Structures are given as structure tokens and as C-alpha cells.
């Protein structure tokens, strides 16, 4: 009994120990943040710090001297941003693997900020405002920074609350040449005007039938540049046109007997060439070896595709009743049970075709043969009669006619000489 009591007491103490200790608290690092200006001097302003890491974040206001102590998880990558009416950072300040340096009690961080400035930009083409121009501002000192805005109907856009420094501005709009300029934001607000110009480049199309191992040009194909122009290819499958620079186009290629194809092309600022591929609309053709087919007999059939190439593994039969599959040469044998009009059928991969044929009864072919023999005998009799009639004209009649003709011609020639 005493032993059991001791065991229970031990288990209870162990449980209490686990509850008292609980899960181990995560280690933290205290970051000593000082907000400084572009010269490295404390700004002596209260600033709201926004601190973020993988699984959490916090906000904290600095003292009037721009300093604050912030606890963050040890070993994490931590980002520091600010909120302030006059100062700004284009991108967060990143502390990688937050760890207190050896010999220090805190992790010191100088968070540099800058006075905020706004650039009001107008984009024009020969003095006229251009709407829809995309302006991308990059900061040469911060590879991660990129600000994108678009001009309105007045050709205007604003890059707001950026650090006061130099920026590279790149323009982009379909039909216009891209332009790159440097602007300087050195005040609370600055104004800049950027001039851009439209442009065209030569674009050549080559339409080919890529069914073949070496694609073959397709003449008289229609190339429609959607929303722009429609072209017809020459005998070598080519055709060219001038198109707007820096523009995406949908191009539709079509021709009778071919599947229509639509492709998207991207035209830049240099002449370009595009290969467009089309193929004939798939179809089957079936032919029969025999001209006359007799019920109860078979014939060889051949199945070819739209390119007149043999089709293997096609299912063939009569009136839709499958009988065989074609071999590598596209051939198979089908048989016919009954006379009359029948259809040789072929199908593969959703394609099908048929060939109407007349199947004869063997007795019908016999009667037709007898009639033919009688006709031939009558013709032979007529020919013999005509020969006899020619003989009845008497021997040498044809020769006499020839001699008379020769003598007449000679007399005419002699008379002409005397004249």
C-alpha cells in the first residue's frame, strides 16, 4: 500500500513539473533601431516602424529622437518600413538572420530614410498628350524598386511619395517607340514632360504546310492581321507588311481545304519574320481495285488521307459492317454478299468516308456477255459486207483513179509553163 502511494505521488509531481515548465519560449533578439536621413544623421522625429517577419509583424513608434527597441524572433529575416508625413523608404530595410553580434547585447540597425517627393509627368507626341502610356520608374540605387503608373486622357501621371533622388523612367505603349529618360526628384513636387514618337517596322510572313518533313510553302493563303490588314501569300508562301512597333497582334491564316489557324505575334522595334504553319483539313478517300464487283466475291480497297498517303489501321467494311483493318500500305480486302448498290466504308480517328459501288449477280453478268457477243457478231458481218462491196467495184478501180489524178496534175503544170 505504501509503495502504491509513493508511485502515485511521483506521477503527480512529474505531471506538475511538465505543466509548470510548458513549451519552451522562442528566443528573441532586441533590435536597436535608429532612423537616420540620407546623411546618416538621426531625423529627431517620431516615426511609426512597421516590422514584419515570416510568421508575424508588429508596429512601434520611435522616440522623438527617432530611436526604438524592437524584439524580433532570432534567426529570422526581418523587414523594416516606416510611416511618416515627410519621410519615406522606397523599399523595406531587410535584416537577414537576425542575430546579436558577438560582444553586443542588442542588434544595432540604422534605418535610412529620405524626404518624400512627387513627380508629375506629362507624355506628349509632337505636343499632343498621349493616353495610356505605361511609365516605369526604377531607382538605380535600389535594384528591387519599381513603380509603375499609366497616363490619363491628358497624358498625365504622378509618381507619388518617392525618395528624393534620381530615377530612370521608361515609357511603353503599343505603336510607340520605347523611351528611357532620367528625372530628378529634388523637391516635394517636380514636373517633367517626356516626348515619344510612333513607329512601324517591316514584318514578313511565311505560310508553310508543316505536314511534310520539310515544310512546303502555301501559295494563295489568306493572312489576316486582326484589326489591321488582310494579305494573300505569293507562290513562295511569303507576304510582308508594315506594322506598329511594340504591339501584340493576332494573326489568322486560312485557305480553302486547310484548317484555319490563329497565332499571336509580338512586334518589337526591329524588322521581323514569322513562320505560320497550316495543314490540310483531314479527310479519307477509299478506292476499289475491281471495276465490276460480283456478289459472293472480294476486292482489294485502298484508304488514303488528304495528302494521298496510305492510311494504316483504318477500319473498312460494307455498308458500315466492319470487316478488316488496312495494313501499312493502306490496303485491305472486303467481300460482298448480295448484289445491288453497296457502300464501301472506311473510318479512323473520327474520320469516315464511303465509296458507292454496284454489285452484280453472276447471272446478270452472263446475260450481258451474251448480248455483247451478238452485237460483236453483227458488227463483224457488216464489216465483211463492206469489204465485199469494195471488191465488187472491180479490180484496179482504185489504181485507175490514182493514175487519172496524176495525169491531171501534170497537164496543169505543163499549161502554166507555156504561159
pLDDT for the residue numbered 233: 98
User: What is the distance between the alpha carbons of residues 153 and 160, in angstroms, rounded to a whole number?
Assistant: 19
User: What is the distance between the alpha carbons of residues 239 and 204, in angstroms, rounded to a whole number?
Assistant: 6
Residue found by looking up cell 542588434 in the block: 107
Sheet arrangement for strand 247-254 = 229-232, 222-225, 247-254, 261-267
pLDDT for the residue numbered 363: 78
Q: How many CB atoms lie within 10 A of CB 102?
A: 5
Cell numbers at 4, concatenated: 502504491
pLDDT for the residue numbered 391: 46
Do 96 and 111 touch, CB atoms closer than 8 A? no
According to DSSP, residue 42 is labeled B
pLDDT for the residue numbered 141: 83
From start to end of 196-339, where are the E strands?
Answer: 200-209, 216-217, 222-225, 229-232, 238-244, 247-254, 261-267, 272-278, 284-288, 293-294, 298-305, 315-318, 321-325, 331-335
pLDDT for the residue numbered 407: 35
Cell numbers at 349, concatenated: 480517328
pLDDT for the residue numbered 226: 96
Do 334 and 324 touch, CB atoms closer than 8 A? yes
pLDDT one digit per residue (tens) for the chain, 419 residues: 445 444 444 445 444 444 444 333 459 999 999 999 989 999 999 999 999 999 999 999 999 999 999 999 999 999 999 999 999 999 999 999 999 999 899 999 999 999 999 999 999 999 999 999 999 999 988 878 999 999 999 999 999 999 999 999 999 999 999 999 999 999 999 999 999 999 999 999 999 999 999 999 999 999 999 999 999 999 999 999 999 999 999 999 999 999 999 999 999 999 999 999 999 999 999 999 987 899 999 999 999 999 999 999 999 999 989 999 999 999 999 999 999 999 999 999 999 999 999 999 987 665 554 554 554 554 554 554 554 444 444 433 333 333 333 334 333 333 433 34
Q: Domains, the chain, ranges and CATH?
A: 28-112 (2.60.40.1120), 116-195 (2.60.40.10), 202-278 (2.60.40.1120), 284-362 (2.60.40.10)
> Residue 253 pairs with which residues in a beta bridge?
223, 261
Q: How many CB atoms lie within 10 A of CB 114?
A: 17
CA distances from 72 to 23, 93, 328 (A): 19, 14, 74
CA distances from 89 to 38, 85, 93, 157, 243 (A): 11, 12, 8, 21, 42
pLDDT for the residue numbered 279: 98
What stretch of H or E contains 136?
A: strand 134-139
Helix (H, G, I), strand (E, B) or coil at 36: strand
Do 76 and 98 touch, CB atoms closer than 8 A? yes
User: What is the distance between the alpha carbons of residues 365 and 295, in angstroms, rounded to a whole number?
Assistant: 11
According to DSSP, residue 227 is labeled T
Amino acid at each position: 500500500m505504501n509503495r502504491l502511494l509513493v508511485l502515485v505521488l511521483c506521477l503527480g509531481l512529474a505531471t506538475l513539473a511538465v505543466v509548470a515548465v510548458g513549451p519552451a519560449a522562442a528566443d528573441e533578439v532586441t533590435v536597436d533601431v535608429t532612423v537616420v536621413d540620407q546623411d546618416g544623421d538621426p531625423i529627431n522625429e517620431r516615426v511609426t516602424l512597421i516590422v514584419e517577419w515570416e510568421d508575424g509583424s508588429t508596429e512601434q513608434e520611435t522616440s522623438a529622437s527617432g530611436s526604438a527597441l524592437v524584439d524580433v524572433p532570432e534567426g529570422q529575416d526581418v523587414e523594416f518600413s516606416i510611416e511618416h508625413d515627410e519621410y519615406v523608404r522606397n523599399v523595406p530595410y531587410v535584416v537577414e538572420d537576425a542575430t546579436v553580434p558577438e560582444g553586443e547585447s542588442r542588434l544595432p540597425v540604422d534605418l535610412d530614410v529620405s524626404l518624400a517627393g512627387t513627380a508629375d509627368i506629362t507624355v506628349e507626341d509632337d505636343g499632343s498628350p498621349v493616353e495610356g502610356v505605361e511609365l516605369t520608374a526604377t531607382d538605380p540605387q535600389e535594384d528591387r524598386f519599381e513603380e509603375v503608373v499609366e497616363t490619363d486622357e491628358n497624358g498625365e501621371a504622378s509618381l507619388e511619395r518617392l525618395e528624393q533622388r534620381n530615377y530612370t523612367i521608361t515609357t511603353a505603349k503599343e505603336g510607340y517607340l520605347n523611351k528611357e529618360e532620367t528625372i530628378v526628384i529634388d523637391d516635394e513636387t517636380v514636373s517633367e514632360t517626356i516626348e515619344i514618337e510612333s513607329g512601324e517596322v517591316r514584318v514578313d510572313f511565311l505560310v508553310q504546310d508543316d505536314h511534310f518533313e520539310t515544310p512546303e510553302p502555301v501559295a494563295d493563303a489568306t493572312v489576316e492581321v486582326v484589326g489591321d490588314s488582310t494579305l494573300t501569300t505569293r507562290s513562295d508562301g511569303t507576304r510582308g507588311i508594315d506594322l506598329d512597333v511594340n504591339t501584340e497582334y493576332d494573326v489568322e491564316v486560312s485557305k480553302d481545304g486547310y484548317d484555319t489557324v490563329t497565332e499571336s505575334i509580338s512586334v518589337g522595334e526591329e524588322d521581323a519574320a514569322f513562320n505560320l504553319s497550316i495543314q490540310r483539313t483531314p479527310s479519307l478517300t477509299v478506292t476499289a481495285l475491281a471495276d465490276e464487283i460480283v456478289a459472293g466475291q472480294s476486292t482489294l480497297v485502298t484508304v488514303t488521307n488528304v495528302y494521298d498517303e496510305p492510311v494504316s489501321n483504318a477500319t473498312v467494311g460494307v455498308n458500315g459492317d466492319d470487316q478488316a483493318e488496312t495494313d501499312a500500305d493502306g490496303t485491305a480486302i472486303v467481300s460482298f454478299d448480295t448484289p445491288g448498290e453497296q457502300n464501301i466504308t472506311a473510318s479512323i480517328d473520327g474520320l469516315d468516308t464511303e465509296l458507292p459501288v454496284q454489285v452484280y449477280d453472276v447471272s446478270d453478268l452472263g446475260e450481258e456477255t451474251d448480248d455483247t457477243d451478238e452485237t460483236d457478231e453483227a458488227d463483224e458481218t457488216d464489216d465483211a459486207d463492206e469489204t465485199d462491196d469494195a471488191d465488187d467495184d472491180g479490180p484496179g478501180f482504185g489504181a485507175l483513179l490514182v493514175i487519172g489524178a496524176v495525169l491531171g496534175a501534170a497537164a496543169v503544170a505543163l499549161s502554166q509553163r507555156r504561159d
